[in-house]
Amino acid sequence: MLISKKRIRVIKTVIIGFNILLFFIIALILIWFGKIRFEWSDELILKYKYEKNKSKLKRILVLGDSQLEKWPMRHCLYKDMERFCKKNDIGYVNAAHYGFGPIEYKDRLEYIAPDYKPNLIILFYYIGNDLTDIMLRDDQVPKKPTYNVVYIEGKSETQKKRKKRRSTFNWDYFKNKGIDSIVFEYARHNALNPHILIMSIWQPDYLFDNNSVFSIDSKYAWYKILQKFEDMLTFAEQINSEFCIVAIPSTVQVDSSHYDFYRKIAFNVSNELMYSNEPQKLLNDFASASAIKYLDLLPHFKNYSNTSELYFENDDHLSTAGHKLAFKLVKEEILTWFLDKNENYRRNERENNFYKNYTNWAIRYTMEGIKKDSNWFELVKKKAESKSISVDSMLFLDARYVVENLDSTKTLHN
């Protein structure tokens, strides 16, 4: 039986139309799951997800650095918290971004929260580098995201631009700076963040500053950090939101599995870092006085059966095992509590201006610094004897002099 030309044209048109439709359906699926990405599609998807999360009765806002980004593995804090929120009909906006620190956490909160109105703000503080992020920056101006964290953020930097910035790294300068040649090649071929090479040459005591808070500069940086956290807490209270802090430990606090790696990069390392928990104690003091929930992951990480599995090799980011353990604890201590929290729940009132009084804070830690500096302490004792006053009184006077002559916009050594 012969088919008319008209019918053939109709059949061809239907086949072509079906293939075009199939193509667009597949393309949309790939775009939705991030396999194909365009700036316009990212913004549309972010807008849809943001508005959907904003409409939920209960809403969570997450603040953090690269530890809280969406990692390309099945289990990470970002994805596991997102699954929990979807399952329990909770709005979830994650504003974490690589390179962020306390300055950006405060900036993102003040930018996103007035529109999103979260009921719970979870701040993930990374012990490994959040302190030096404050201490080593002169301008203290917030860095803006290089990609859209949430829809309301605006235009992002393209992958092409980020790749160009990375290619401008001055490799020749670092080639003969005492860094292990194998590690250097790892960084050169993107198996290691090359900016850690800069830090090792610029600040060899980087690990001690962050994990031990041993220098006067680092103690002053802690004052500025906790002052920002208090500002964030005040902001959270104004929008009637709960504020929680989770402390992610540095790998050097958990075990010595990365010590050799850090030595190869030329950082100063010693076993005393494994017994350092001063940042966690300071956060605990702040949380207790502020009547907020605080989760310290360090003791749980130390008790894990194989601690070397918790972080990537030659990297201080959490591995799958680290993310799974962290999420388990966050779920038990914070997410479940938030899910079950009564609408009429009111937390205890906090002390007013806990870390606003800079003088008392700085004098306390400057006095401790003087005691640890044997040469300085000997001078203090001699001055106390010459003035016929107690050593403690002279210690206080010396510390107060340092504090009162400090330009609060700079670190102590500048």
Assess whether 249 and 334 both reside in one domain.
Answer: yes
pLDDT tens across 206-250, in order? Answer: 999 999 987 878 887 888 898 899 899 999 999 999 999 999 999
**Greater pLDDT, 343 or 187:** 187
- Contact in structure between 239 and 114 (CB atoms under 8 Å): yes
Q: How far apart are CA 414 and CA 407, in angstroms?
A: 9
Question: Which pLDDT does position 219 carry in this prediction?
Answer: 80
Answer left, alpha or beta for residue 353, where phi above 0 means left and psi between -120 and 50 means alpha. left
Q: Is 53 inside a domain boundary?
A: yes
Q: How far apart are CA 292 and CA 347, in angstroms?
A: 8
Question: Which pLDDT does position 338 carry in this prediction?
Answer: 94
**Greater pLDDT, 370 or 167:** 370
Question: How many structural domains does the chain have?
Answer: 2
Q: Looking at the predicted structure, is the pLDDT value of residue 341 above 60? A: yes
Assess whether 201 and 284 both reside in one domain.
Answer: yes
Assess whether 304 and 407 both reside in one domain.
Answer: no
Burial class (CB in 10 A: 0-12, 13-18, 19+), 376: middle
- pLDDT interval class at 157 (50, 70, 90): very low
**Greater pLDDT, 318 or 388:** 318
**CATH code for the domain in which residue 110 is found:** 3.40.50.1110
Q: Is 333 inside a domain boundary?
A: yes
Domain edge (last residue) among 337, 356, 375: 356
Question: Which pLDDT does position 161 carry in this prediction?
Answer: 47
Q: Is 11 inside a domain boundary?
A: no
pLDDT tens across 51-104, in order? Answer: 999 999 999 999 999 999 999 999 999 999 999 999 999 999 999 998 899 999
Assess whether 336 and 401 both reside in one domain.
Answer: no
- pLDDT interval class at 404 (50, 70, 90): low
List the single range of 163-172, 309-318, 337-346, 371-380 with lowest mean pLDDT.
Answer: 163-172
Question: Which pLDDT does position 401 carry in this prediction?
Answer: 78
- Domain range for 126 is 32-151+158-356
% of the chain surpassing 90 pLDDT: 43
- Both tokens assigned to 207: 């690990």
Domain edge (last residue) among 356, 383, 405: 356
Q: Is 308 inside a domain boundary?
A: yes
Assess whether 136 and 212 both reside in one domain.
Answer: yes
Question: Which pLDDT does position 288 carry in this prediction?
Answer: 85
- Both tokens assigned to 353: 């201006």
Assess whether 345 and 384 both reside in one domain.
Answer: no
Q: Is 13 inside a domain boundary?
A: no
Q: How far apart are CA 405 and CA 414, in angstroms?
A: 12
- pLDDT interval class at 28 (50, 70, 90): confident
Question: Which pLDDT does position 69 carry in this prediction?
Answer: 94
pLDDT average, residue stretch 245-268:
94
Q: Looking at the predicted structure, is the pLDDT value of residue 413 above 60? A: no
Q: Looking at the predicted structure, is the pLDDT value of residue 409 above 60? A: no
pLDDT tens across 176-198, in order? Answer: 777 888 887 877 777 777 778 88
Residue with tokens 């902001």: 235
* Gyration radius from the chain CA atoms: 26
Assess whether 392 and 296 both reside in one domain.
Answer: no
Q: Is 288 inside a domain boundary?
A: yes
Assess whether 374 and 404 both reside in one domain.
Answer: yes
Assess whether 216 and 81 both reside in one domain.
Answer: yes
Assess whether 222 and 364 both reside in one domain.
Answer: no
Q: Is 226 inside a domain boundary?
A: yes
Q: Is 26 inside a domain boundary?
A: no
Domain edge (last residue) among 341, 356, 371: 356
Assess whether 180 and 320 both reside in one domain.
Answer: yes
Please state, rounded to an integer, the average pLDDT across all residues of the chain: 83
User: What's the pTM value of the predicted model, to 2 decimals?
Assistant: 0.78
Question: Which pLDDT does position 132 carry in this prediction?
Answer: 92
Strands 293-296 and 120-126: unpaired
List the single range of 244-248, 277-281, 404-408 with lowest mean pLDDT.
Answer: 404-408
% of the chain surpassing 70 pLDDT: 83
Assess whether 75 and 136 both reside in one domain.
Answer: yes
